[in-house]
Amino acid sequence: MGGAFLAAAVLARLGGRIGLPTIPLFILAGILLGPHTPGVVLLSDPHDLEMLSALGLVLLLFYLGLEFHMDDLKAGGRKMAVAGGTYLALNVGAGLGFGFALGWGTSEALVLAGVLGISSSAIVTKVLVDTGRLGNPETKPILGIIVVEDIFLALYLAALQPVLSGADSLSSALLDGAKAFGFLLLLALAARYGTRLVGRLIDTPDDELLVISFLGAAVFLAGVSEWFGVADAIGAFMVGLMLGSTSSGERIRKLVHPLRDAFGAIFFFAFGLSIDPGDLPVVLWPVLAAVVLTLAMNVLAGFAAARVYGFGRGPAVNISTTLLARGEFALILATMAAAAGLDERLSPFIAGYVLLLAVLGPLAAGRVPELLSRRRVRAAVG
């Protein structure tokens, strides 16, 4: 673990000197020091960091919830649903069509629909923090789309599991979906009506006790969410949503920073450990085609979301590039596909696709809006 922190820090410092974002560098550190690359191997089994990696994801989404105020959710619920639904329709639909076009099978196409359709909540959060855009107007639709994606994710996993396992019981699939949706509804009601009570329970002048309290609440509810078939990250997000509106919200935001950054780095490092570069050439062309398709769909979805909110081209580009990266959900699907005995090409395809977009996404989010801004300045001067 110490080696993981140090390797991530060294690469991030070197990359920072030439303006590279930290996310792809943390991932690269995991690839270089993982079991699939010659040289020093810090960890022969990526699962050794599984719990710490999960904690990193939970803290990233908890922080995202702290920044997403209940007032924003109440005021923009309809727009959020339209923007999120449009994003999913374009990207999941394109992923399903791409899966059938590859001809690998129906189950494989359903997996690819999720892989190509869902953004990485962890990377999106980190990009927003690193680029200093949490206060931008277009961040509201970005966070709204992430929330809609997470809700869809819970229902999608519940429906996909019996398909991949070969279960023929429709009632079982419906029961899992109803359980996940019911728990999501319960979380939403708690966030809507329970904020005042939660605020009184967690409030304390002692920073040590406050850290223990909010960390325990976030991790515990994340675990309970997973038990109900809802992504653990959305449970942590809802805790952040509740606590962010309390009188302790501002203190919690400051106290969670170092925890978020440290364990977030471990999340991306562990992500890199799971990637085997040797498998990538086999699926190079399908991966490149999928990346191009995702770029096109994200641009369309970004401009559609911007139109819903009445934004111009600049915010539309920010939405498109910030939501581009794919990550943890795709890796979950890869694991499910391998366990179900689906086409062997799926795992290397998902690894290559996720790796490329995990690198391109943060780079595009940082550089493309900056280039467009410079071009507008030059045009104005000219």
Residues whose CB falls within 8 Å of the CB of residue 223, separated by 6 or more in sequence, listed in order: 232, 235
Assigned token pair, 276: 């085997």
Query: Cβ distance 331 to 340 under 8 Å?
Result: no
Compute the 3-state secondary structure of the chain and give helix, strand, coil in percent, each to the nearest 5: 80, 0, 20
**Residue 132, phi-psi category: left (phi > 0), alpha (psi -120 to 50), beta (remainder):** left
Among 156-165, 212-221, 339-348, the range with the most confident prediction by mean pLDDT is: 212-221
SS3 readout for 44-75: CCHHHHHHHHHHHHHHHHHHHHHHCCHHHHHH
Residue 284: CB atoms within 10 Å: 12
DSSP 8-state code for residue 327? -
Q: How confident is the model at residue 362 (pLDDT cuts 50, 70, 90)?
A: confident
Residue 158 scores a pLDDT above 70: no
Q: How confident is the model at residue 70 (pLDDT cuts 50, 70, 90)?
A: low
Mean pLDDT, the chain, whole residue set: 82
Whole-model pTM: value is 0.72
What is the chain's alpha carbon radius of gyration, rounded to the nearest angstrom?
20
Q: Residue 237: how many CA atoms within 13 Å on its side-chain side?
A: 26
**Residue 144, phi-psi category: left (phi > 0), alpha (psi -120 to 50), beta (remainder):** alpha
Q: How confident is the model at residue 56 (pLDDT cuts 50, 70, 90)?
A: confident
Assigned token pair, 224: 């309970």
Assigned token pair, 41: 């191997």
Residues whose CB falls within 8 Å of the CB of residue 135, separated by 6 or more in sequence, listed in order: none
Residue 162 scores a pLDDT above 80: no
Mean pLDDT within 45-74: 79
Residues whose CB falls within 8 Å of the CB of residue 125, separated by 6 or more in sequence, listed in order: 60, 61, 63, 64
Residue 297 scores a pLDDT above 60: yes
